[in-house]
């Protein structure tokens, strides 16, 4: 584990970055500006095989997806989260990130989506967002995409991943949806096929950031069992709801993984608000 990030501190004494509903990224490293790698492949990919789906801006706005909002403090906070995350990943030569929350109510899936989109806004960066919440998939609803098949079909029926990818009309971003819910999600995420897929994605697209949206850490075993197969983990907690004992327990569970940092979500201190008049469609 990165020694600079091993202590999860619920206090607000460390550097903070606000994200969705005033979320705050907390880590223990002061970061300089991120310099993307030069010469990345597939910077402006053409989706000849990937499905391209148009999305409804009003629905994205309701889901608080940042592409539906005008530039402002709320969007800038996600760019700061992106910058901090990308620099740490670049410094450690990491390309895969699992995002999980303490519980199901902290908003970790929204952080996953908006972080992925903000990374895709980089002109020389591509991102793959994988819905690995196989028990309760959410990405398709949040991004307003129609899904008939997904990751579960690859794991169960050998469906080619290339036929499952969807571009939600956002340049440099591709989504691998979860597909149909699976009751044995923990076992499937640890299966040889899933481990092979993660390795293949990393090797085939070494310059692409891959984000896995995971179920809650404390209520399901999925995130913990899957964490050894990714480079790093981002933990989302909720102000006023996440208890100190929960945070300490989460820290003990993640003691052997590379913890990228924590996001304090739904923070009331210096909370960034969004309003109806900030709506827009790309």
Backbone dihedral angles phi then psi of residue 7, each to the nearest 5 degrees: -95, 120
Contact indicator for 151, 130 with CB cutoff of 8 Å: yes
Tokens of 246: 């929960």
Alpha helices for 101-191 (secondary structure H) = 108-120, 139-142, 151-157, 185-189
Mean pLDDT of the chain: 79
User: CA 173 → CA 122, 125, 209, 275, distances in Å?
Assistant: 11, 9, 10, 26
Give residue 270's pLDDT.
54
CATH topology of domain 54-278: Rossmann fold (3.40.50)
Alpha-carbon distance 226 to 194, whole Å? Answer: 9
Instruction: Tell which residue, 69, 68, 71, 46, has the closest CA to residue 57.
Output: 68
Which residues in 177-258 belong to E strands, given as ranges? 209-213, 232-238
* Contact status, residue 172 vs residue 130, Cβ threshold 8 Å: no
Contact (Cβ atoms closer than 8 angstroms) between residue 86 and residue 261: no
User: Collapsing DSSP states into helix, strand and coil, what is residue 197?
Assistant: helix
Rounded to an integer, what distance in angstroms lies between the CA atom of residue 20 and that of residue 74?
7
> What stretches of 168-231 adopt beta strand conformation (E)?
173-176, 209-213
Give the separation between CA 160 and CA 157, rounded to whole angstroms: 9
The full DSSP string for 63-82 is TT-GGGB-SSHHHHHHHHHH
Q: Is 129 helix (H, G, I), strand (E, B) or coil?
A: strand
Per-residue pLDDT of the chain (282 residues; tens, 9 = 90+): 443 333 333 333 333 444 444 444 443 332 323 333 333 334 344 445 788 888 888 888 887 887 777 887 778 878 889 999 999 999 999 999 999 999 888 889 999 999 999 999 998 899 999 999 999 999 998 998 999 999 999 999 999 999 999 999 899 999 999 999 999 999 999 999 999 999 999 988 778 999 999 999 998 999 999 999 999 999 998 877 777 888 899 999 999 999 999 887 766 655 445 443 333 322
Q: Using alpha carbons, list the distances in angstroms from residue 175 to 49, 116, 127, 179.
A: 13, 10, 9, 12
Domain boundaries, the chain: 54-278
Q: What is the pTM of this model?
A: 0.79
Could you give the 3-state DSSP secondary structure of residue 221?
Answer: coil
Of 17, 14, 41, 50, the C-alpha closest to 29 is 14
């Amino acid at each position: 584990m990165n020694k600079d990030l091993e202590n999860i501190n619920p206090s607000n004494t460390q550097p903070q970055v606000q994200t969705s509903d005033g979320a705050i990224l907390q880590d223990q490293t002061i970061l300089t500006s991120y310099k993307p790698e030069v010469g990345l492949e597939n910077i402006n990919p053409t989706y000849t095989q990937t499905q391209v789906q148009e999305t409804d801006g009003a629905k994205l706005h309701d889901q608080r997806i940042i592409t539906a909002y005008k530039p402002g403090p709320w969007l800038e906070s996600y760019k700061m989260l992106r910058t901090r995350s990308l620099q740490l990943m670049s410094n450690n030569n990491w390309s895969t990130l699992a995002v999980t929350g303490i519980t199901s109510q902290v908003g970790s899936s929204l952080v996953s989506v908006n972080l992925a989109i903000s990374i895709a806004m980089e002109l020389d960066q591509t991102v793959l967002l994988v819905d690995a919440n196989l028990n309760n998939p959410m990405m398709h609803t949040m991004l307003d995409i129609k899904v008939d098949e997904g990751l579960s079909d690859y794991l169960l029926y050998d469906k080619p991943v290339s036929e499952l990818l969807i571009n939600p009309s956002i340049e440099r971003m591709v989504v691998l949806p979860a597909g149909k819910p699976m009751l044995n999600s923990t076992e499937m995420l640890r299966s040889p096929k899933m481990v092979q897929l993660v390795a293949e994605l990393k090797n085939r697209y070494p310059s692409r950031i891959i984000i896995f949206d995971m179920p809650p850490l404390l209520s399901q075993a999925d995130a913990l069992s899957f964490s050894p197969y990714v480079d790093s983990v981002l933990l989302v907690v909720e102000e006023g709801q996440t208890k100190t004992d929960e945070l300490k327990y989460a820290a003990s569970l993640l003691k052997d993984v590379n913890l990228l940092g924590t996001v304090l979500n739904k923070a009331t201190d210096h909370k960034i608000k969004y309003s109806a008049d900030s709506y827009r469609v790309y």
